[in-house]
Amino acid sequence: MRVHTLKRALIACALALPGAAIAVVVAAPAAHADGCYTWQRTLLPGRSGEDVRQLQIRVAGWAGNGGIVRIDGRYGPETAAAVRRFQTAYGLRSDGIAGPQTFTKLYQLQDDDCTPTHFSYTELDDGCGQGGWTGGPLSAAETRANALRTMWKLEALRRSLGDRPLYVTSGFRDIACNRRVGGASDSQHLYGNAADLVSRSRSLCDVARTARNHGFSGIYGPGYTNHDSHVHVDSRRENNRDRTRNTTSWSAPDCGVGG
């Protein structure tokens, strides 16, 4: 785990103090918790804007069974439900409203580059070792943005698996790398939308089954061709640049998980 900022530590200390100290934390939306993003207002259904979009990125992994959270900047029922699941998962009041407690938890979970604390851009970068987010169908900025959303989904999956480490064995691949490893020509790895996972504490079937609740619309695991050693997860429903958009595909026959 990477080192948290001093300001995160101060917020954690404030939460542990009684009385007036808690009142300070209640005003947290305007407090700069780290170097990534600071929310300035409470968010609830009907609101819209960049602050909602930033929230959606971070709760995208709490979409529920077979669902997704659209990153559209509009706080609708889909976003509210994801916020409620996030709140429940971290022991917060589950009301679907993103206020000080929800933001404080998000600040604790994110690092200064906006990645969740247990995953990094390095892990999700080029699977053949070159790095740089270039050489795929999208711009480097678009690919990197997709990878960020993927990491927040992985953070949610990790939480539901008992907060035990998940290891990414392959993330973004440029076109040349994808050909070299024998990837499908329309692989979601090309877009920064995918990760291949292993766990040392949970079975691959546990990972595949649980992933269905965390915003992934493509899941392949044990029993699917060439996937007995890892679980592949991707966000194909949110990829509007290829022919697999608006589809779901789940197959892990040895785990009883099918489309």
> What 3-state DSSP class applies to 228?
coil
Query: Distance (Å, rounded) from C-alpha 218 to C-alpha 141?
Result: 23
Residues in the chain, total: 259
**Proportion of the chain in helix, strand, coil states, percent, rounded to 5:** 40, 10, 45
What would you report as the CA-atom Rg of the chain, rounded to the nearest whole angstrom?
Answer: 18
The values of phi and psi at residue 109, to 5°, are -85, -20
Cite the DSSP H helix spans in the chain.
6-16, 20-26, 50-59, 77-89, 100-109, 121-124, 140-160, 175-180, 204-211
Catalytic residues: 227
215 contacts 61 by C-beta, under 8 angstroms? yes
